[in-house]
Chains A and B, each alone.
Chain A
Amino acid sequence: MKRSLTNIVQLGIKELFSLRYDPVMLFLIVYMFSFSIFEEAENAVTGVVNAAVAIVDEDRSQLSRRIGDALLPPRFQAPEAISVDQVDSSMEAARYAFVIDIPPNFQADLLAGRPTVIQLNVDATAMGMAGTGAGYIQQIIAQEVSAFQKHERETQAINIVIRARFNPNMEAKGFQGVMALTNNVTLMAILLTGAALIREREHGTIEHLLVMPLRPVEIMLAKVWANGLVVILVATLSLYVIVQGALAVPIVGSIALYLLVAVIYLFSVTSLGIYLATLARSMPQFGLLAMIVFVIMLLLSGGHTPLESMPAALQGIMQFVPSTHFVRMAQAILFRDAGVDVIWPDLLATAVIGAAFFVAALLRFRKTVTLTQI
């Protein structure tokens, strides 16, 4: 037992030395945990931000101008005035997501109490902003109209106050930053561990290890701890320096708990990385395989679009993917300050899935030596 432990420690240290001399990987690690996260979070656009709007103002009245002036940044760009015959072509060219058509005599009709209709054209292919944006514009029009008819101000029989918990301004930056961090943890863990195994195979050093008094489980555990350690260290640094520092995202939850969860998750994904490496015959094959697996994990784990809007069957399948649980735990811990009492089922699932990958990889480990490299 003690012997095994020394072996695992020794081999892991060797693993760290190897990484030190791999400039490409080091660059990728630094890039993925700094610039990449920062960029993704800073440029995150969710919902209605900077939407392009045009107004066909056939009324040219005080009220119609007021409506135009009420569309304000950051949600809306300053509306552009276009003519009726430009509506179709400009929307086809996706120049505007929204085109408001204010009919002639709009203000006069309103003052005379004649019902009038404002047409709101929405480019419904701009899925990210079409629905909510249309809602905002309707509200803005309603507000401006009632403000114009001062006496109508008190139509609100019931006031509604909406408070967003955990992220009061519903800012996308923090969410994107943390999700980018989470995704990059996944990518780097798979890539580092898998590539480390394939490299040893290509250099023939894995054969050396296998003729020494070592067991495959020790070789694998060494890779898990060493590469996991690297990822957890840079992730921690990134969380403090990039997410909290450069991006100034307020983290309410316990970072310690997040890191603890990340450690268990890393066991899971590094095992997945080793497993994938045992399936591939060469580095390029591993690259293609890891790519597909990673993209699916990236987009379907709930970090991009909420899991609950996926078909039930897909939701079920994604429960077998460790990143689904990690994304959920990361959100719960960092934004909602959830404790172990809340996250333990996900934590357990992560550990069990990780163990399954580990065992699967172990069963294939010896065979990988016989795989010829192309």
Chain B
Amino acid sequence: MKTIARVTGLSHRYKKSVALDGVDLEIPAGGIVGLIGPDGVGKSSLLSLISGVRKIQHGSVHVLGRDMRRALNRAVVGPRVAYMPQGLGRNLYMTLSVFENVDFFGRLFGHGREQRTWRIRELLKGTGLSSFVDRPAGKLSGGMKQKLGLCCALIHNPDLLILDEPTTGVDPLSRRQFWELIERIRARREDMSIIVATAYMDEAERFDWLVAMDDGKVLATGSPAEVKTGTGTGSLEAAFIALLPPEKRRQHEFLAIPSRSTQTAVAAIEADGLTRRFGDFVAVDHVSFRIERSEIFGFLGSNGCGKTTTMKMLTGLLPRSEGEARLFGQAVDAEDIELRKRVGYMSQAFSLYSELTVRQNLELHARIFQLPKAEVEPRVAEMIARFGLGDVIDELAESLPLGVRQRLSLAVALIHGPEMLILDEPTSGVDPVARDYFWQLLVQLSRDDGVTIFISTHFMNEAERCDRISLMHAGKVLAQGSPGELVRARGAKNLEDAFITYLEEAATDAVAPTELVASRDLRSQTDDPMQRRTRSALFDLRRGWAYARREGLEIARDPIRIAFALLGPIILLIAFGYGITFDLENISYAVLDRDQSSESRHYLENYAGSRYFEQRPPLQSYHDLEARLRAAKLTFAIEIPPGFGKGLKRGRHPEVAIWLDGTVPFRAETARGYILGLHHLYLEERQLHSSLGGAPRHLPVTVETRFRYNQDFKSVYAMVPGTIMMLLVWIPAMMTAAGVVREKEMGSITNFYATPVRGLEFLLGKQLPYVVLALINFISLVLLAVFLFQVPIKGSVVALFVGALLYIVATTGLGLLMSSFMKTQIAAIFGTAIITTVPAVNFSGFFSPVASLTPGAQVFSHIFPSSYFQQISLGTFTKSLGFDALMFNFFMLALLVLVYLALGLTLLKTQER
């Protein structure tokens, strides 16, 4: 048996939990190998380690005969492997069209235009996506997303295809089509190996070889038949349960559902023509049904078919666009508090307060439902006992295994003893044992307590347990009835087949895929692995451009980001340009003239005539002076003492007192400067005047002050160039950082890990669109400066432009560097803002010259690009400078560009941890 991958002693752990525990595997080549087991047992970790996307911690993985611990081997193996991560369309870009998505992957693998075009055509034709080439991936159904994901994975014709739960949450028809597609691909390329993880046991029956996993360990391997005979069971589901360790198995009992005895005529839920639209999109289209009391009613359908939306309308969370909904005969009203006490709701993904303990979660809900104080504790205790939560009572909800969280979620929904439960996909992701236990609880509730249960699911075997079900697809109900009735009505083998016949009947967009036979064979032309290898040069322009192009398209289609990026700087420059000014005028003052002589009035005229000051009504007393200063009605007060005039005439040097509000130091300092200036001017004039009779006396020394670069001494000439400097670091760095972290958050960063893209190509490709955006910012800011603020560019326009370009490349590079530390977009936005603001505002020469900073602060000036561009911006705008005078700054910016890039490259992770 040939091996495609060999795993020895592989262990992997995340912070708290062990994902893989000493796994040894020899995976045979040339067939479909299935990984089976519930969520969270380590299937995804194993697949990502085999694909080289995740970094190996302990043990070894050999793929295609090469050790995946070595980067060099990964570079060789990478182009021969395709990896499709878990989650619907996880490797896709939702705003990009079907064609653009596949095209992006084609470019990543360095395909030329012609090759790409025919290959994409073939693949899309083969998957039945040809008629949707222009539709954004985000608007495809779950099944179509998975087919598109497959196209993207197959574009480079891999030797090993790794699929992580490709059909979870997909409707049964699409699921069937997906496997048919895989079969056809295998028919064309028999030597291709496929490794698939799945939670559907019926799919696993068709695979060539199986690996059953639980708790990070391999339970069994072999063909489906071998696994079944090995355990002496008839089905894989039963075989899997038999393989579980005894203590887990013990919890499992065969689920029997007693028939419903009470047939009441009273409806618990009635929906009539229920419709919900989001814009043009009809999420729920005239859905009607009637659920009786104590009935278990199921909604069966794929992800995104309208199940959740319908449930939300019934709970009043979403307003209806059309139609009627009644609970217990009363119309659903979002404001009706009393009705809510009769309903329990469990939303998708068990939304609990993960940071509260089990007890706190239960108590919080009990209190909000206004259980009498004395009843809270017994009720919480009852729920804990009934749902088997005793062992975890004081643990955080976050740390609970999924199955326990699910039970807690149900307990929370039941705390107030509701007559009806609305459960939205309560069992997704939970292992079969836990799922059966959960259903036992539901059956008890319905049959013993008479609780009506409305449940949605995409599992066929769960739907079979409901009293009645509704088959949903694309917002419509296809059929309704008991599972048995539906199967009989279609003459089908089982519920799944019945559902498929309904789906086929309703199919509008499921264009039958044409045969995958193409004019040119899929495996042809430039696909020699040797040739592919040589292409992994250090920097491939085509791959870099693929990233740049894709990022650009994504930004262009995100109205919020584009608005922020383009309008943000304009709004801020206008606000700052008008708002921040050092030109202090209209400084308010008042006079306490206790002399009232002609001399005092003469002296005071001096102030009244100044354009900087604005006189307020005279002061009456000290008390008045104090009160008005305190209330900030005055910035300063002038007090002339009694006898001022007489004293002046007699040469007694009378004293004028100025009382200044020192709260705002800048204003106080400036006002003081103005006051002293006026005072001395008065004295000089007086001196000249008094000496008119005698010999003319000039002051011996004149200080001739030249305000250079800004003759009018208006702060706008310094503020605007400075603000441009600030905005061009702030917004581009923030946008770039968020742009890379966004890929981490959305999961599409996997494409970087899984394809032969080099770090440099990824970084420069991501950077380019942001550089373009920032250049647009720069041009709009310069236009604003020149035309709105009337700040002309006195120096070299070319120097300013070149400087801005260097600066932008540096600031976006800084953003890229930041993104290697940040994990979430929100952290990237605030972290980058905090880190860039201080050097830009305080250490760049914006508010005070770099020369005046302490040596410690000057270090910041030198390692951030702002101080250099501040020189260029101010120099070219106000100082009439060109390249020569600013050379040092250009050089330093270029140096920083390289330093940031080198650091970014070093810190960029090329594998997941």
Contact = CB atoms under 8 A, between A and B. Distances in A.
A49 B585 CA distance: 22
Contacts of A372: 278
Most buried by B among A134, A142, A170, A210: A170
A3 B370 CA distance: 8
A362 to B, nearest CB: 13
Given A119-B706, A162-B658, A52 B852 contact: yes
A158 B679 contact: yes
A89 B658 contact: no
A138 interface: yes
Interface stretch (A228-236, A268-276, A304-312): A304-312
A141 B629 CA distance: 33
Nearest to B654: A158
Contacts of A138: 703, 705
A292 B571 contact: yes
B667 interface: yes
Interface in B876-891: 878-879, 881, 885, 888
Interface in A278-328: 281, 283-288, 291-292, 295-296, 299-300, 304-306, 308-311, 314, 328
Contacts of A117: 701-704
Contacts of B667: 306
B848 A331 contact: no
Given A14-B356, A120-B706, A158-B648, A211 B315 contact: yes
A118 interface: yes
A128 interface: yes
B874 A116 contact: no
A31 B706 CA distance: 44
Interface in A118-167: 118-132, 134-139, 141-142, 145, 149, 154-167
B816 to A, nearest CB: 17
Contacts of A105: none
Nearest to B564: A288
B178 to A, nearest CB: 26
Contacts of B852: 45, 49-52, 77, 97, 129
A120 to B, nearest CB: 5
Interface in A41-82: 43, 45-52, 77
B656 A14 contact: no
Contacts of A24: 827
A11 interface: yes
Interface string B326-348: 00000000100110110101011
A36 to B, nearest CB: 8
Contacts of A213: 337-338, 340-341, 368-370
B879 A110 contact: no
Nearest to B851: A52
B353 interface: yes
Interface residues of B, number: 138
B65 interface: no
A203 B351 contact: yes
B719 A127 contact: yes
A109 to B, nearest CB: 8
A135 B673 contact: yes
Interface string B482-502: 000000000000000000000
B632 A332 contact: yes
B882 to A, nearest CB: 10
A254 interface: no
Interface string B713-732: 10101110100000000000
State the 7 A-B residue pairs at the shortest beta-carbon distance, nearest first. Answer: A164-B662, A167-B662, A204-B351, A124-B710, A52-B851, A21-B355, A284-B825
Interface of B: 94, 278, 312, 315-319, 334, 337-338, 340-341, 343, 345, 347-349, 351-356, 360, 364-365, 367-370, 396, 398, 560-561, 564, 568, 571-572, 575-576, 578-588, 603, 629-632, 648, 651, 653-670, 672-673, 675-677, 679-680, 682-683, 686-687, 698-711, 713, 715, 717-719, 721, 734, 738, 742, 824-827, 829-830, 833, 838, 842, 845, 847-854, 857, 871, 874-875, 878-879, 881, 885, 888
